Amino acid sequence: MKNKYGFCKGLAALVLLMLCALTIKDNAYAQTAKTYKILFIGNSHTYYNDMPNIFKGIAKADGIDCEVSSITSAGYKLSQFADTTDTYGSLVYEALTKNTWDYVVVQENRAVLVEKEYKAESAVNTLHSLIKKAGAKMIIYATQPNNIGSTFSVNSTSFYLTDLQIEQILTRNNFKIANDYEGLVAASGTNFMRVMADYPDITLYRTDNLHPTVAGSYLAACTIYYRMFNKSPYGNKFLPGSEYDTDKLISKLAMDDALILQQIADGRLLINTHYTTINKGQSSKLTATFTANAKNETLTDYKNNIIWDSTNLAGVSINKLTGEFTALKTGKYQVMATTDSGLICYSTIDVKQPATSLTIKEDKILKVVKGYSGQYTTEMGPSDTTDKITWESDLPSVVSVNSNGYITAKKVGIAKITATTTSGIKVVHYVRVKLKTPTGVKLTKKSKKITKKKKSYRVTVKWTKNTNAVKYYVYRRLSTKRSYTRIATTTKPKYIDTKVKKNKKYYYKIKSIYSNTKLNSNKTPAYAIVIGK
């Protein structure tokens, strides 16, 4: 029997089942397909031409779904974005602490990287901690230099740099920072220079010779996309007039130029490791790989052989052809791999010198009282060791020690303090926190008639109670004697000496006693009293 739509009931049921199956399959795909959350942080180099959304379009054309957000402001530095008291800095903090991200793309002001690179590193140190907690990978967007060069000032000295010199500094310092903080570098500035060398007719800069045109932003987006997803932009369908450019972001970009920019961004050079720790005197080897699509015509005129160099040959020497290097001097150094097509990549070599000796100059057993604080002084050899010392107390409730070897005596007891170098040398010292020496000692004398011709004399000795003492020792000597004799043991902070005679001068000392005799207090100074006639 057919229904009013012309289907048999059985066939209609079969079609319904098939549609349900397809719906379930589509829903399952929608549930498993990942949407990448990406945050861009930067200044006008990032927001010009809506570059983050150009990036999003490239990803979408390649089947990658991205949720892109941006926090940008003209002229801003990363130190401002890292400052929670700054308007935009507070937005960055909120974005990184209240959300999770897959990638965070950060872009520094070029003047900071040239003039005060240490400020850029300090800002990244703050931001990277937040980025890591947000579950994201950090990518540093290394921007283009000034098109016609510029004047900079370092330590009150002004000097002029060409565009190539600026780009080299920007790229090197961006890699230096990224390598220290497990980040990646999207070297857009390098690609700018490659385009300008081989395709000078493509206009990458606006008339201000600083900010990018749509072509420049498209090149930057291609570079970031490749570094982030490890997928070449070569052949990507996000092109001018394509169905993917729904917002007309690149409508002013010539098709031929777009294809060339994809080919430029397709060439990539990577070093096998971005950070190597090695001991002074040792040797190792780096490897690098050049990749490009076999059909990429822009690279056919180049050999793309990889050449190695070191930014400081006194620190690290390297074989230009093989990448074999030797650590010569302690410190952090950069080595670079380059190709004749203009690609460059940096790796950091951290040269260490393990300690061979460690001494603590203070006594093996330090005897102190509660409330004492002081710092151990140490000496490591050799003189150029890069080892650090970690400190540990086995009883921090008795004696605490901080990361700089600064100790604080908190209560009576014995603590073992261990100093350990990075290379594993250990030195053990002890701190005895003894009872405090009794204070508030007072002597009073009194006489009492026994008969008309005879009197008895006594001296009352009092002191301040020590709650940690289990008992006290009382010592006495006559002025005519040199040594003290212990004359009493008492659990109270008081003793009455009845064995004194008139016309004599007596000296008294008190000592607090603990359950562990090693922690007894010192004796008090001598207190004297004269028994009159």
Q: What is the pLDDT of residues 122-169, one digit of tens each?
A: 999 999 999 999 999 999 999 999 999 999 998 889 999 999 999 999
DSSP 124-190: HHHHHHHHHHTT-EEEEEE----TT-EEEEETTEEEEE-HHHHHHHHHHHHHHHHHHTT-EEEEHHH
Tell me: pLDDT of 306 over 80: yes
- In CATH, 268-352 is 2.60.40.1080: yes
Mean pLDDT, residues 35-55 taken together: 98
pLDDT given for residue 533 in this prediction: 62
CA distance 187 to 197: 16
Percent of the chain with pLDDT over 90: 89
Instruction: Calculate ∠ Cα 403-406-412, nearest 5°.
Output: 120
pLDDT digit string (tens) for 382-417? 999 999 999 999 999 999 999 999 999 999 999 999
Q: Are 139 and 106 in contact (CB under 8 A)?
A: yes
| Confidence grade of residue 482 (pLDDT, cut at 50, 70, 90) | confident
pLDDT given for residue 455 in this prediction: 86
CA distance 460 to 442: 8
- Quote the mean pLDDT of the chain: 93
Residues in contact with 16: Cβ distance below 8 Å, sequence separation at least 6, in sequence order: none
CATH number at 357-434: 2.60.40.1080
pLDDT given for residue 32 in this prediction: 57
Tell me: pLDDT of 226 over 90: yes
CATH number at 442-531: 2.60.40.10
Tell me: pLDDT of 329 over 50: yes
pLDDT digit string (tens) for 310-323? 999 999 999 999 99
Residues in contact with 206: Cβ distance below 8 Å, sequence separation at least 6, in sequence order: 212, 213
Q: Are 128 and 185 in contact (CB under 8 A)?
A: no
Q: Are 292 and 299 in contact (CB under 8 A)?
A: yes
Domain parsing of the chain, residue ranges: 1-30, 34-266, 268-352, 357-434, 442-531
pLDDT given for residue 305 in this prediction: 95
Tell me: pLDDT of 12 over 80: no
Instruction: Calculate ∠ Cα 400-405-409, nearest 5°.
Output: 30
| Confidence grade of residue 532 (pLDDT, cut at 50, 70, 90) | confident
3-state helix, strand, coil in the chain (%, to 5): 25, 35, 40
pLDDT given for residue 3 in this prediction: 39
Tell me: pLDDT of 20 over 80: no
Mean pLDDT, residues 66-90 taken together: 98
Q: How far apart, in Å, are the Cα atoms of 284 and each of 26, 355, 367?
A: 51, 21, 49
Mean pLDDT, residues 171-187 taken together: 97
Q: How far apart, in Å, are the Cα atoms of 393 and each of 294, 390, 407?
A: 62, 11, 9
CA distance 420 to 418: 6
pLDDT digit string (tens) for 255-294? 999 999 999 999 999 999 999 999 999 999 999 999 999 9
Superfamily classification of domain 34-266: SGNH hydrolase (3.40.50.1110)
